[in-house]
Amino acid sequence: MPDDATAQQQPVEPDEPEPPELEPYDFEPDDSDLEGEPDSDYDPAEHMSQEELDDLAREAQEAERDYEADLIRQALRTISKDAAKGYLTKYGDAVDTRIQTCLGQAKRLMATNHPGPALTLAASALEIMIRFLLLRPLVQGAFLSDKWAAILAARVTGGRTAEDREMLPAILREWGLDLNKVRTASGVFVWPFIVDRLWSLRNGFVHRFDPVATDAAAQAVECAEMFRATVVGTVAKRLGFTLDETQRWSAIKKPNGTVDVFEVADLFVDIAKPKKQGQ
């Protein structure tokens, strides 16, 4: 006769499969969970005023922007410098060529008393710098898609909110640079001028042909040159580039005096190439 301990033992079932992982749709109710017939014509916004609808839309937009900003901030904290550096060694020279062309033409337009077009080209040079020499490489280093680079660039250069205007300074603080303190030789603070005056002046000239003062155009060109030298230059040094000596992103001088030269490509040609079906 088995002893009491043996008698109380419960039979062990053979190996049972582990329960499946839960998916979001596992929590969706089916028809049996609902009382009565569902009202397919029900519209929760039907009895809301226009003001309430506007507030709801604004809250949804702000929530989406906050979500995007948080994702980007988290990703940029774990940036890979090697990935950012690889991007710039390959594409930096072609991007810089466009920037210098913009600034050269802006100066010639200033010399012939065309402040509106000069300011517009200075703004274009800055947009190229911000998107393709700062944001795109940093986003590449954070292993985010080009879509995120476009979202980030639109918010930084759009500057519709105080948070947008502060986004680039916040990113650059991670690299030891206080963007809000950078100023030109004539004393103009570069970033405040860009976000508070340059974008609106450019948009007014391009879309409404608003007049542009000569001194504003001159400050725009000066700010663009300072941004390239100080802001982009600082990030380049942090990444290990030697632009002051080699004048090229694709050539990096090593401590022993030798120069490493990397393969280059034109980013804008790559962008313009039609993608094959399925890519």
Q: Please report whether residue 277 resides in a domain.
A: no
- CA quadruple 83, 89, 93, 96: dihedral sign: positive
Q: Please report whether residue 197 resides in a domain.
A: yes
Q: How far is CA 94 from CA 57, 241, 246, 271, 272, in A?
A: 41, 16, 15, 13, 14
- Pairwise CA distance, residues 90 & 39, whole Å: 58
Q: Please report whether residue 111 resides in a domain.
A: yes
pLDDT digits (tens, 9 = 90+) for 178-220: 999 999 999 999 999 999 999 999 999 999 999 999 999 999 9
- Pairwise CA distance, residues 95 & 229, whole Å: 15
Domain count, the chain: 1
- Pairwise CA distance, residues 176 & 210, whole Å: 38
Higher pLDDT, 37 or 126: 126
Q: Which residues contact 170 (CB under 8 A, 6 or more apart)?
A: 73
Containing 51, the helix (H) or strand (E) segment is helix 50-76
Q: Please report whether residue 141 resides in a domain.
A: yes
pLDDT digits (tens, 9 = 90+) for 37-46: 555 566 666 7
pLDDT digits (tens, 9 = 90+) for 228-268: 999 999 999 999 999 999 999 999 999 999 999 999 999 88
Residue 13: pLDDT over 90: no
Q: Which residues contact 32 (CB under 8 A, 6 or more apart)?
A: none
Q: Please report whether residue 32 resides in a domain.
A: no
Categorize the per-residue pLDDT at 152 as very low, low, confident or very high, splitting at 50, 70 and 90: confident
1-5, 142-146, 233-237, 273-277: range with lowest mean pLDDT = 1-5
Range of the domain at 118: 72-272
Categorize the per-residue pLDDT at 80 as very low, low, confident or very high, splitting at 50, 70 and 90: confident
Q: Please report whether residue 90 resides in a domain.
A: yes
Q: Please report whether residue 121 resides in a domain.
A: yes
Categorize the per-residue pLDDT at 121 as very low, low, confident or very high, splitting at 50, 70 and 90: very high
Length of the chain: 279
Q: Please report whether residue 19 resides in a domain.
A: no
